[in-house]
Amino acid sequence: MRSEEIISSLERKYLTDLLTKGERMDNRDFWEGRPIQIIPNVIKKAEGSAMVKWGDTVVLAGVKVQLGSPFPDTPNDGVITVNLELSPISSPSYESGPPGPVAVEMARIVDRGIRESKIIPMNDPKLCVIPGKTVWILFVDVYILDDGGNLIDASALAAMAALANTRIPKVSIDEEIEEATLLDETEPLPRKGCVASLTYAKINDIIVYDPNLIEDRGKIARFSVAITDGGLICSMQKGESGVFLEEEILNILENASSQVKELIKIIEETSQVTELGQMFQFDF
């Protein structure tokens, strides 16, 4: 059981001594990720959902959809918003209340990855129901259930997997009075491709992929990159007070570009297994 937000000097020494010897505390290589499992369609009331177990991190994402007004500057686009709850369920370090800076930053990293990759075509006629008036609003809510480190990648994966399994109601439009009525039938959310996030932690001068909880807390700097199935980098974020050198970033990007394929494959596999209305059970 880990309870401290910071790590003790002893633990930091153990962590860095191991890294200097070329080892990690869970026996992984520096560039090796932990095992990942995605369970899609786990929440009945949600239009799309997925649970992600990433090492011992557990994250649940759900998508709710509702009809609403578009933003005035994008009258023909649907709306997507990502919210992230870092609840005390996941760790004694977190307190209840509205999302703090840590949760907001993570939510925005996940949001940017999805938004900038344009994998959800917001101007698709299925999302823009009545141009300038009625569009679908997609709420992606990510709940961290167990914080075992690297929440950004687990959250991004859960959000992506939930969207890949989202079905939205069909609508009939009355052109004269410009009103949309929801039908019972649903259709898959339009989607063009896939995006995944990869996060690297710098501990002293050593960089590792997919930090576990202790590495996460012992890191001096963090770098996250989101890459599409087409190999395009669509978002990057450096975090914490430490620094990276240009060479280090280029190494990370090269590694991420090859590792992302495995993540994309897992997402595509889970989005194919779900049939209409099929629900899955999860345990811990």
Partner 1 sequence: MNEEITSLIREDGLRLDGRGLHELRPISMQTGVLDRADGSCYLTWGNNKIICAVYGPRELHPKHLAQPDKAIVRVEYRLATFSVEERKSPAPRRREYELSKILSESINNVIFLEKFPNGTIDLFITVLDADGGTRCAALTAASLGLADAGIPMRGMITGCAVGKVDGKIVVDLSDIEDKEGEGDMPVAMIFNTGELTLLQCDGMLTPEEVEEGLKLSKTAIGQIYQMQRKALLAKYSQIEEQSDELDEEEE
Total residues at the site for partner 1 (CB under 8 A)?
39
Q: From the CB of 284, what's the least distance to partner 1, in Å?
A: 3
Measured from the CB atom, is 245 or 284 closer to partner 1?
A: 284
Measured from the CB atom, is 180 or 221 closer to partner 1?
A: 180
Contact flag: residue 40 with partner 1 (CB under 8 A): no
Measured from the CB atom, is 41 or 235 closer to partner 1?
A: 41
Residue from 5, 17, 88, 100 touching partner 1 (CB under 8 A): that is 88
Measured from the CB atom, is 213 or 256 closer to partner 1?
A: 213
Residue with tokens 């993570």: 106
Contact flag: residue 218 with partner 1 (CB under 8 A): no
What element of type H or E holds 225? strand 221-228
The token duo for 59 is: 């994250």
The token duo for 34 is: 């932990």
**Are the CB atoms for 161 and 267 separated by under 8 Å?**
yes
- Contact map string, positions 263 to 282, toward partner 1, x by CB under 8 A: ------------------x-
**Are the CB atoms for 157 and 38 separated by under 8 Å?**
yes
Alpha helices in 118-212 (DSSP H): 151-164
Contact flag: residue 68 with partner 1 (CB under 8 A): no
Q: What's the one-letter identity of residue 70?
A: P
Measured from the CB atom, is 21 or 45 closer to partner 1?
A: 45
Contact flag: residue 148 with partner 1 (CB under 8 A): yes
Measured from the CB atom, is 34 or 202 closer to partner 1?
A: 34
What is the residue-wise DSSP string for 67-104? EEPPPTT-TT--EEEEEEE--TTS-TT--SSS--HHHH
**Main-chain phi, psi angles of 142, to 5 degrees:** -110, 125
The token duo for 121 is: 């075509």
The token duo for 282 is: 């999860």
Residue with tokens 């869970």: 26
Contact flag: residue 229 with partner 1 (CB under 8 A): no
- Contact map string, positions 103 to 142, toward partner 1, x by CB under 8 A: ------------------------------------x-x-
Residues 6+ apart with CB under 8 A from 73: none
The contact set with partner 1 (CB under 8 A) reads 1-3, 42-46, 49, 56, 58, 60, 62-64, 66, 83, 85, 87-92, 96, 98-99, 139, 141, 143, 145-148, 182, 184, 281, 283-284
